């Protein structure tokens, strides 16, 4: 016992138990919403325990009636007792099925609720912080770890109560009938306590390794299937198959290491259980031989001995369950405790939009400084402006900060110094996550979702009519090919824009952004897959549109710069306005 106390003190000093306690409190915020379900499940388990103990008593009486048939036992008593025993067994089966049904139903409800809550919280987590995690890792944390918590919330506490109740009630029956048998209930306890010390360390490490390996494999699979075209093009199929086999080998090695420990633990617990059972059996024979108890009581004790030993093992098994639960909680807390985006200005921004939608909204970035978290400075004293009915271009070499500026304007990242505001008349609001509702955004690459063209369009404007969708497609120079499709705007888009060329997918993305009719439009290399003529026509259509839209374009191609109101070049971490001569020079030398 002294060594056990020293062990737990050492763990507390090391911070492990403190961390587990903090994770337990975090889980409690979900558990407290489901007390009714937990109480219901617990009561079902306790009722099942009472019926099982009642069956043991009836079994004892039946044995005694049969063994004492010549001393007063009657066939009627045998039949009645046998019928009661059958009824109790049926009752146990019914309770078990109801408990399983309730457990599954409630578990799915809790799982859906927790995943929905965590899903929402992940989406409003600071974007720049989230980029430090692989998509596969996020999927594992949201999927497997959230499911582990939902199952644990519903089952861990109720099962702990049920096991304790089962042990106490069975122990009480033993003591009432023959207190000498009570000692056998505790024969396996020292072994269980000794195993808990080893299990605690091994289970914590295994759960962390298992979660990390699961995230690694998920990330590998996700990246492989997302980039299967590139893998085929570079003839990397054999390489990726070998990489998968290596990951599987690492996973199997890890699991087998833990499985070896589980086998030895299981064998030891089984051996202890057999020792306890046979010791109880021997003691029961002695007590019957000495006349202290009857045969029925002995058979009841043997059954209860197994119940007590099994319940102790069940209680011990809750230790790894608790460790797995807190490990999953810790992995989710890593994500959810990152900074959250601030949407407190939603109402103010909505009022600002309603007041200035008809006249348009201007953007002004003044004296902005931004550095990545690794210390690399991207902008220093950078300024730019854009106004309604203007197309403003932002040019510069690849990697100089064009996309970073777009992300700063969208408040996906926050500048360390300077000011960025949206203005309409005399009113203004600072850029924040709340102001994203004022923007339409077309990033680099293919951003179409699986579904129909119309469904993709209505993602940004659910109430859009077919006519409004077609008008947006025409403005983006996309209607010419959509019109020729057999099902028109109801044609299917496969995953990642499959079924359409890159240029067609880009025009669909631009049409979707235009359909939203936001005051500000950001095109981040969004016309890179278009030919020069189509690119110029799309921008001219935007400029001719009567809607007071402010448009900012980033591009590496200078072919459209002479139709832009202003052109900013990123130089020396600043945004410099180019004059006509510089623009003409860029066009000639492209």
Mean pLDDT of 216-222: 78
- b/e code 24-33 from CB counts within 10 Å (16+ = b): eebbeebbee
- State the burial class of residue 527 (Cβ atoms within 10 Å of its Cβ: 0-12, 13-18, 19+): buried
Asked if 187 and 301 sit in the same domain, the reply is yes
Determine which helix (DSSP H) or strand (DSSP E) holds 370, and give its type and residue range.
strand 362-371
Task: Judge whether residue 127 has pLDDT over 80.
Answer: yes
Which whole number is the average pLDDT over 289-312? 75
Which pLDDT score is estimated for 74? 67
Query: Looking at residues 328-350, what average pLDDT do you find?
Result: 87
11 belongs to a structural domain: no
Say if 3 falls within a structural domain: no
Residue 32 has pLDDT above 90, yes or no: no
Given this model, what pLDDT does residue 13 score? Answer: 44
2 within a domain of the structure (yes/no): no
Q: Where does a domain end: 313, 336, 359?
A: 336
- Residue 371 reports pLDDT greater than 60: yes
309 and 406: one domain? no
CATH number of the domain that 51 lies in? 1.20.1560.10
Please give the distance of CA 405 from its chain centroid, rounded to a whole number.
Answer: 30
Closest Cα to residue 583, out of 383, 393, 450?
Answer: 393
Asked if 296 and 366 sit in the same domain, the reply is no
Question: What pLDDT is stored for residue 422 in this prediction?
Answer: 94
Q: How many CB atoms lie within 10 A of CB 96?
A: 15
pLDDT digits (tens, 9 = 90+) for 343-370: 999 999 999 999 998 899 999 999 999 9
Q: Are residues 230 and 379 in the same domain?
A: no
Domain ranges, residue 293: 17-336
> DSSP readout, 10-31?
HHHHHTHHHHHHHHHHHHHHHH
Q: Are residues 244 and 360 in the same domain?
A: no
Band of pLDDT at residue 471, cut at 50, 70 and 90: very high
pLDDT at residue 479 greater than cutoff 60: yes
Distance set, CA 388 to CA 315, 385, 560 (Å): 68, 11, 19
Question: Which of residues 194 and 27 earns the better pLDDT score?
Answer: 27
- Shared domain for 276 and 383, answered yes or no, is no
Strand partners of residue 393? 553, 567
Q: Counting Cβ atoms within 10 Å, is residue 541 exposed (0-12), middle (13-18) or buried (19+)?
A: middle
Residues 372 and 245 in one domain: no
CA distance 90 to 83: 10
Q: What is the pLDDT of residues 242-295, one digit of tens each?
A: 888 888 888 888 778 777 777 776 677 677 767 766 777 777 777 777 777 777
Phi, psi of 339 (to 5 degrees): -55, 140
> Where among 336, 362, 388 does a domain terminate?
336
Angle at the Cα of 490 from the Cα atoms of 484 and 495, rounded to 5 degrees: 100
Domain boundary among 305, 336, 367: 336
Give the model confidence (pLDDT) of 78-98 as tens digits: 777 778 878 877 877 887 788
Q: Assess if residue 214 is contained within a domain.
A: yes
Q: Residue 374's domain is classified under what CATH number?
A: 3.40.50.300
Whether residue 1 lies inside any domain: the answer is no
Q: Report whether pLDDT(1) > 60.
A: no
Evaluate if residue 9 carries a pLDDT over 60. Answer: no
Pick 139 or 434 by higher pLDDT: 434
Whether 8 is in a domain gets the answer no
| Confidence (pLDDT) at 142 | 83
Give the pLDDT score at 46: 86
Q: What's the confidence (pLDDT) of residue 475? A: 92
The per-residue pLDDT for range 106-119, each reduced to its tens digit, is: 778 778 888 888 88
Answer yes or no: do 386 and 296 share one domain.
no
Q: Is the pLDDT of residue 528 over 80?
A: no
Short-list 397, 393, 396, CA closest to 561: 393
The answer on 116 and 91 residing in a single domain is: yes
Residues 6+ apart with CB under 8 A from 127: 341, 407, 412, 413
Q: Could you give the strand order of the β-sheet that contains 362-371, starting from the edge strand earlier in sequence?
A: 377-386, 362-371, 417-424, 427-430
Is there a domain that residue 4 lies in? no
Which residues are bridge partners to 52 per DSSP? none
Whether residues 318 and 454 share a domain: the answer is no
Question: Which residues, in sequence order, are CB contacts of 151 under 8 Å at separation 6+?
Answer: 107, 111
Give residue 345's pLDDT.
Answer: 92
> Which pLDDT does position 201 carry in this prediction?
58
Give how many domains the chain has, as a whole number.
2
Say yes or no: 332 and 350 in one domain. Answer: no
Res 476 pLDDT > 80: yes
Q: Is the pLDDT of residue 168 over 70?
A: yes
Residue 12 predicted with pLDDT over 50: no
Contacts of residue 190, Cβ cutoff 8 Å, sequence gap at least 6 = none
Residue 502 pLDDT > 60: yes
Percent of the chain with pLDDT over 70: 87
Q: Does 306 map to a domain?
A: yes
> Among 3-12, 36-45, 240-249, 418-427, which is the least confidently predicted range?
3-12
- Are 278 and 371 contained in the same domain? no
pLDDT of 589 strictly over 80: no
Query: If you average pLDDT over every residue of the chain, what do you get?
Result: 81
Helix residue ranges, H only, 337-452: 346-356, 402-409
């Amino acid at each position: 016992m002294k060594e056990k106390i020293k062990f737990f003190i050492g763990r507390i000093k090391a911070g492990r138990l403190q961390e587990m306690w903090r994770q337990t409190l975090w889980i409690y915020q979900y558990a407290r919403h489901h007390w009714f379900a937990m109480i219901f499940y617990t009561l079902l388990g306790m009722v099942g325990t009472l019926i099982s103990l009642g069956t043991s008593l009836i079994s004892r009486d039946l044995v005694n009636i049969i063994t004492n048939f010549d001393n007063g036992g009657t066939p009627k008593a045998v039949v009645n007792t046998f019928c009661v025993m059958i009824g109790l067994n049926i009752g146990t089966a019914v309770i078990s099925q109801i408990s399983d049904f309730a457990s599954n139903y409630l578990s799915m409800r809790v799982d859906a609720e927790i995943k929905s809550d965590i899903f929402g919280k992940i989406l409003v987590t600071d974007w720049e912080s989230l980029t430090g995690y692989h998509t596969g890792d996020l999927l594992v944390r949201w999927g497997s770890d959230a499911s582990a918590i939902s199952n644990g919330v519903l089952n861990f506490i109720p099962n702990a109560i049920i096991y304790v109740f089962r042990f106490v009630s069975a122990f009480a029956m033993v003591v009432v009938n023959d207190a000498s048998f009570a000692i056998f209930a505790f024969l396996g306890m020292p072994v269980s306590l000794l195993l808990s010390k080893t299990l605690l360390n091994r289970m914590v490490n295994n759960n962390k390794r298992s979660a990390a390996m699961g995230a690694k494999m998920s990330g590998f699979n996700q990246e492989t299937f997302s980039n299967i075209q590139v893998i085929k093009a570079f003839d990397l199929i054999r390489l990726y198959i070998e990489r998968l086999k290596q990951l599987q080998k690492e996973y199997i090695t890890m699991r087998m290491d833990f499985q070896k420990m589980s086998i030895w633990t299981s064998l030891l617990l089984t051996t202890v259980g057999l020792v306890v059972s046979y010791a109880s059996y021997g003691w029961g024979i002695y007590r019957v031989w000495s006349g202290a108890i009857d045969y029925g009581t002995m058979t009841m004790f043997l059954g209860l001995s197994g119940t007590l030993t099994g319940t102790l093992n069940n209680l011990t098994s809750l230790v790894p369950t608790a460790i797995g639960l807190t490990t999953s909680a810790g992995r989710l807390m890593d994500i959810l405790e990152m900074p959250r985006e601030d949407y407190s200005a939603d109402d103010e921004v909505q009022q600002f939009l309603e007041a200035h939608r008809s006249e348009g909204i201007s953007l002004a970035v003044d004296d902005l400084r931004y550095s990545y978290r690794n210390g690399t400075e991207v902008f220093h004293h950078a300024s730019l402006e854009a106004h309604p009915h203007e197309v403003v271009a932002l040019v510069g070499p690849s990697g100089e900060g064009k996309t970073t500026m777009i992300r700063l304007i969208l408040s996906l990242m926050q500048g360390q110094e300077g000011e960025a505001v949206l203005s309409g008349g005399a009113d203004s609001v600072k850029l924040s996550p709340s102001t994203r509702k004022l923007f339409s955004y077309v990033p680099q690459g293919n951003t179409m979702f699986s579904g129909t063209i119309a469904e993709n369009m209505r993602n940004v404007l659910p109430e859009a009519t077919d006519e409004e969708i077609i008008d947006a497609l025409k403005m983006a120079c996309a209607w010419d090919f959509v019109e020729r499709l057999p099902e028109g705007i109801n044609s299917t888009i496969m995953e990642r824009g499959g079924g359409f060329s890159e240029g067609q997918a880009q025009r669909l993305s631009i049409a979707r952004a235009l359909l939203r009719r936001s005051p500000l439009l950001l095109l981040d290399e969004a016309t890179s897959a278009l030919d020069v003529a189509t690119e110029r026509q799309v921008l001219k259509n935007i400029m001719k549109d009567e809607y007071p839209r402010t448009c900012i374009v980033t591009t590496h191609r200078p072919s459209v710069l002479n139709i832009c109101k202003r052109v900013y070049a990123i130089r020396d971490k600043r945004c410099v306005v180019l004059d006509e001569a510089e623009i003409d020079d860029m066009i000639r030398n492209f």
